[in-house]
Amino acid sequence: MNLIISIKPQFVQKIISGEKKYEFRRRIYKQEVDKIYIYQTLPDAKIVAYFTPGKIVKDTPQNLWKNFKEVSGTTEEHLLNYLHDKDEAYAIEITNLKIFEEPFIPKGILAPQSYKYIDYDL
């Protein structure tokens, strides 16, 4: 099973540059996932890359910040605002990142609000 997740352009750029090594989520997927495709949100609205999920850490937002701030690609204020109403959240390690030379709009797939399962490769 694979996953498509929506990420804002400023964070996609930090993933590509290597500054952001963890993707933070308010909730986590339930099925086992082989690849996570990155859907860069507007204005680009395209699939730009994929990665293999590494370790997944579940913890309080404050502890996630404390443990991953150096590789978060964000600020404490932004992360804690994003996770403000959660007692626990998730950090997904980004491993084996593959960037597409030609980002694309997948046929027949609407942009996911958070994430969307797909049972095939793009």
Residue 47 has a CB neighbour count (10 Å cut-off) of 19
Joined together, the tokens standing for residue 84 give 């403000």
pLDDT tens digit string along 15-64?
999 999 999 999 999 999 999 999 999 998 999 999 999 999 999 999 99
pTM more than 0.75: yes
- Identify the CATH assignment for 2-112 out of 1.10.1040.10, 2.30.130.30, 3.40.109.10, 2.70.70.10: 2.30.130.30
